[in-house]
Structure 1
Amino acid sequence: MKNIVLFASGNGSNAEEIIRYFKKNNQGTVVAIFSNKPDAKVLDRAKNHNISSVVFNKAQLNEGFVLEKLHQFQPDLIVLAGFLLKFPESILKEYPKVINIHPALLPKYGGKGMYGMNVHQAVLENNEKETGITIHYVNEHYDEGEFIFQKSVNIEDCKTAEEIAHKIHELEHQYFPEVIGKLITNH
């Protein structure tokens, strides 16, 4: 059984979908959720599923505390599911299999500060006819790692960033767990 560690900073709806997906099939198991926000709802989700959680601050992410904790869980794959901090090179050197989901069709609308509603608002303001999700490997630069999967959705009927966000969440929940499952199976 492959070990998956999730990193999340917020609500954790993607984390929840990933946990459910791997509880249904035996490709892997979510062994821990790491969060930089002590009040993040994702930590409640971890507790509800009896999954270990690790809370840390930005300094601990970069100074070895998080790396030390990761060693305890021996992840085969690290998944960033709504994790908002830049992932440190020191961790990537030891765990090169780190993936992220981005709520747009990269390379458009990526980079520092481009997350969540910031992305959806920019897509709306630029009158895009479609947007989507990109699942990619993490490297030392924001949103520049090798693409694994992209899926687009038409948003011509969307009048608000919230409507776009709803369509993107549907794509994330449908495809993110499946793509992780394929990666786990093929590694």
Structure 2
Amino acid sequence: MIFPPLKLGFLASRNGSAMREIVNAIEGRALDAEARLLVSNNRSAPALGFAAEHGVPSLCIPTQSDPDAADARLCAALEAAGVELVVLSGYLRRLGPTTLARFHDRILNIHPGPLPAFGGEGMYGRRVHEAVIAAGVAQSEICIHLVDEEYDRGPIVARRAVPVEPGDTAETLEARILALEPPFFVDTLQRIAEGTCRLP
């Protein structure tokens, strides 16, 4: 069975590392997808410059002054761009109910630790790796999951185990996982595009 290309939208607050890897994979024909739109809540986000350089339409929608209006505008922008699957690439704002409802089970996030044990509000970036090291577990994980109303509680789409090496610190574990996350996101999206990884 031949599936149509994934129609992707991206949300990024800073560099958008996963978005960059995904767009490069699309350009290199390693991923059967279309980059339809990037939205950032931060006008100075480097991700916006990358999008401009690669011909990806982009938009800045600040969220702090009027979150409800920003939610409605975000949802409308994604719809207008024909986005079918939304990729969070370091988006540091909670999504609103309008966007969550319209793109139910179609918003993906990547988390740098095992879920649900090392997730939840405030658990992002180095905090996750500090908690993993403190817990003394033998392995961490990269988890790609669907986004819902609760932080890091949506169904998990794909996992990749990452061993905690002897002598690892939060910094060394973070560096290793940061390098693995973007290609893992590309691989997971390609499996979704091929139909071997199915969303609900």
Q: Same fold (TM over 0.5)?
A: yes
Please report the RMSD computed on the Cα atoms of aligned residues, expressed in angstroms.
Answer: 1.8
Tell me, which stretches of 5 or more residues in structure 1 are unaligned? none
- Secondary structure of 1:105's aligned partner: coil
Q: What pairs with 1:6-21 in structure 2 (closer than 5 Å)?
A: 6-21=10-25
Q: Work out the percentage of aligned pairs sharing the same amino acid.
A: 29
Q: Choose the corresponding residue for 2:138, options 113, 123, 129.
A: 129
1:75 and 2:83 are equivalent in the alignment: yes
1:50 and 2:60 are equivalent in the alignment: no
> 8 Å contact 1:6–1:34 — kept in the other structure?
yes
Tell me, which stretches of 5 or more residues in structure 2 are unaligned? none
In the alignment, which residue of structure 1 is the partner of 2:99? Answer: 91
4+ residue runs over 6 A deviation: none
CA shift, 1:156, in A, is: 2.4
> 8 Å contact 2:36–2:82 — kept in the other structure?
no
Write the distance in 2 (CA, Å) between the matches of 1:162 and 1:54.
Answer: 33
In the alignment, which residue of structure 2 is the partner of 1:147? Answer: 156
Q: What's the CA shift string for 1:110-148, capped at 9, x where partnerless?
A: 111111112122222223321121001111111111111
CA shift, 1:158, in A, is: 4.5
So what's the TM-score if we normalise by structure 1?
Answer: 0.91
Write the distance in 2 (CA, Å) between the matches of 1:15 and 1:39.
Answer: 16
C-alpha change, 1:77 and 1:158, in structure 2 (3 Å) is farther
CA shift, 1:61, in A, is: 5.1
What is the aligned residue count? 187
What code does the residue aligned with 1:23 have?
A: E
Write the distance in 2 (CA, Å) between the matches of 1:77 and 1:184.
Answer: 11
So what's the TM-score if we normalise by structure 2?
Answer: 0.86
Write the distance in 1 (CA, Å) between the matches of 2:167 and 2:113.
Answer: 15
